[in-house]
Amino acid sequence: MEVFLQQLINGISLGSIYALIALGYTMVYGIVQLINFAHGDVYMVGAYLGFFATAILGWSFLPALLMSMVVCAILGMVIEKLAYTPLRNAPRIAALITAIGVSLFLEYGMMLLVSPQVRTFPQVLTEVQYKLFGSLVITNRQIIILVVTVALMLLLQYIVHKTKIGKAMRAVSHDKQAAQLMGINVNNTISATFAIGSALAAAAGVLVGIYYNAINPLMGIMPGLKAFVAAVLGGIGIIPGAMTGGFLLGIVEAMVSGYGKSLYRDPVAFVILIIILIVKPAGLFGKNVREKV
């Protein structure tokens, strides 16, 4: 039982990361029906920005987190304007290939900029362990990851449901042409969606840096793919679905690792993807309760 509870705690921490990245996938898909495969590499850039802020500038965790989110939000808008806007009316395969190209550009551009070697993230947060009962342990880093994730998710829900830009995002998600006729600036709304999704990915990158203490230019590939699986699991285009899918995937991976099958922790994500596409292609939340961005 203690092993189960310990892996549940670990899984929630890992799922928080997947959920933040998955939100970017699902928001962009909800608005422009595009799978932005460069999103995982924006997460990688966010991790390096956090590394630069803490290791070079000597900033503490919170300023580094905010700076990373702001810069990656700008990066997301630049990517959207330069790579995706010209292909707005092109076949989807063209946008998909472009997304893969942007992903490779970010990965190998970062290698050229900082070298491909693994960097050790500074100890901005000294690890403190809290014993709950028996051998069950939770660390201050896990608590911070969960608190930051929940805070960002609540902020996202507030933006989507209570602000002008959030209402515009939901309108564009449901009917782009009707929204345009009602005076909504569709281009600015799409740019804002990319900015918010990229900022959340950057936050995930910084959180991974303080949790695992190691970053590299290719670190965004597997988490990016797994976050996509999480988005599909919950229902691509559905914000609560991305959150739920991220946490579920993190918990499943932790359970697989905790019970001695760590070699299968990566394949299990894609087995889940295959099963969900066969059994319930719309995702766990389904079309009946579809809540687009």
Query: What pLDDT digit, counting tens, does each position of 22-41 carry?
Result: 999 999 998 888 889 999 99
- Please state the rounded mean pLDDT for residues 215-230: 94
Instruction: Decide: helix, strand or coil at residue 285.
Output: coil
User: Total structural domains in the chain?
Assistant: 1
pLDDT score of 126: 83
Q: Has residue 136 been placed in a domain?
A: no
DSSP 237-262: T-HHHHHHHHHHHHHHHHHHHHTT-G
- Kind of pairing between the strands at 214-215 and 119-120: antiparallel
Question: Residue 211 sits in which domain range?
Answer: 1-124+141-279
Residue 130: phi and psi, rounded to 5, are -115, 120
pLDDT score of 12: 94
Confidence of residue 287 (pLDDT cuts 50, 70, 90): low
Question: Are the CB atoms for 206 and 257 separated by under 8 Å?
Answer: no
Q: Has residue 285 been placed in a domain?
A: no
Q: Has residue 130 been placed in a domain?
A: no
Q: What is the reported pTM?
A: 0.91
Q: Has residue 263 been placed in a domain?
A: yes
Among the listed residues 124, 118, 116, 121, the one whose alpha carbon sits nearest the alpha carbon of residue 49: 121
Q: Has residue 290 been placed in a domain?
A: no
Q: Has residue 292 been placed in a domain?
A: no
Query: What pLDDT digit, counting tens, does each position of 60-94 carry?
Result: 999 999 999 999 999 999 999 999 999 988 888 99
Kindly report the CATH number assigned to the domain that includes residue 21: 1.10.3470
| pLDDT at 222 exceeding the cut of 70 | yes
| pLDDT at 292 exceeding the cut of 60 | no
Query: What pLDDT digit, counting tens, does each position of 235-261 carry?
Result: 888 889 999 999 999 999 999 988 877
Q: Has residue 120 been placed in a domain?
A: yes
Rounded to an integer, what distance in angstroms lies between the CA atom of residue 39 and that of residue 211?
20
Better-predicted residue by pLDDT, 265 or 42: 42
pLDDT score of 288: 47
